[in-house]
Amino acid sequence: MDRKQMCVANVQYKKPTANEAKRAKGLLRYLTYRESRDEGARYAAGRERWEDHGMGGSVAEIAGRCEALQSQHVLLFSLVYNVNPDLMAMVAPERREQFVRELTVQTTETFFERRGIDGGLEYSFVTHHRQTDDPQSPGRHDPHTHVVLPGTYYDDGLGERVPLYFNRNKSVDHIAMLHDLTEAQMATQMDRYVGPDWERRYDDLEAARAAQMAITEQPGHGTFETDEGAINFWVGARRTDEQISATGYYRTVEDGGVEFRPLIGGLKHNEAELLARLLHSEIGGDFVALRQLAEGINEMSGAEREAFFTDVRRLDFSPPERDQTPDFDIDF
């Protein structure tokens, strides 16, 4: 795999102005009380939202520390560590929070040790448990962390606080350093939490998705109208992760590429493939019919869906003999 895709590590900052200070408090409240723009925070009894490493454990405490430790140009820095959801899906659900918390602490502290900042760096972070909004695989568990850092740190040699900075130039690129350390820490943890074959498993997942997308090299199964004109679509399946797949459609997008849109999720791999072939045969290129059939399957109870797939598995999808029309008599 491309190891640069293992984890996103972004850095932003806010200036010490009245307007930015107000926005910083808004950010801290958001981080404390939300999982994402659309999800409120999920609290558990006896647990604190913030993990305090010197910046406090509440909105008021952290805001006060940011103000007290600001530099001339920076009120606070914020870092985000967001693991690739395909890799996170390989980690046992009950260990995912531990995974991202360990990634955050080890990477952050190693990063500043590498920069020679050994003992005077304070930070606090919060763990969010949002769901992905990726249109190809929405609703997957996407735990990530937000780290808050002050605008200054204590320099042991000088005996005083000095401005914290993130250079990005030819001589010193702190952002590239952070990304490299994040990738190294990710690889170490994946070996330990998942096993040494995790990279091969990721490549296998990507290869399976590429094979499924190859259907788009054939003539489109139909078109549907949008404000931008007619869009080609292909009925197909896509692996959500190693365990489950979705049936839906591939469609052309603005940049000339192709993306998948799931209609029926949580399927076994073979179920998704069989269902895609059945829906293709049933809709006659009609996109509205495709959506209607998918809605009908999604409305089935567990027992109804089990009986439905029992019937689907009995179908013969081999090419029909000449002058014969295949009979896919399935009650949707």
Confidence class for position 329, pLDDT limits 50, 70, 90: low
The CATH architecture of the domain made up of 3-196 is 2-Layer Sandwich (3.30)
Given a cut of 70, is residue 328 above it in pLDDT?
Answer: no
Sheet holding 7-14, edge to edge: 7-14, 76-83, 141-150, 123-131, 50-53
**46 pLDDT higher than 60:** no
- Nearest CA to 62 among 72, 50, 71? 50
- Tell me the two tokens of residue 48: 């604190």
Residue 156: pLDDT band with limits 50, 70, 90: confident
Question: pLDDT tens digits, residue range 103-132?
Answer: 999 999 999 999 998 767 899 999 999 999
Report pLDDT for 331.
58
DSSP 61: H
The pLDDT value recorded for residue 319 is 58
Alpha carbon distance 78, 100 (integer Å)? 16
Residue 100's nearest CA partner among 137, 143, 57 is 143
pLDDT of 49: 87
pLDDT for the residue numbered 321 = 55
What residues contact residue 154 under an 8 Å CB cut-off, 6+ apart? 119, 120, 121, 160, 161
Q: Tell me the average pLDDT of the chain.
A: 91
The full set of domain ranges for the chain reads 3-196, 209-313
CA trace torsion 52, 54, 57, 58 (10° rounding): -150
Q: What pLDDT score was predicted for residue 332?
A: 57
Question: Residue 255 carries which DSSP code?
Answer: T
Phi/psi for 192 (5° steps) reads: -80, -40
268-312 tens-digit pLDDT? 999 999 999 999 999 999 999 999 999 999 999 999 999 999 998
- Spatial neighbors of 266 by CB under 8 A, at least 6 apart, are 244, 246
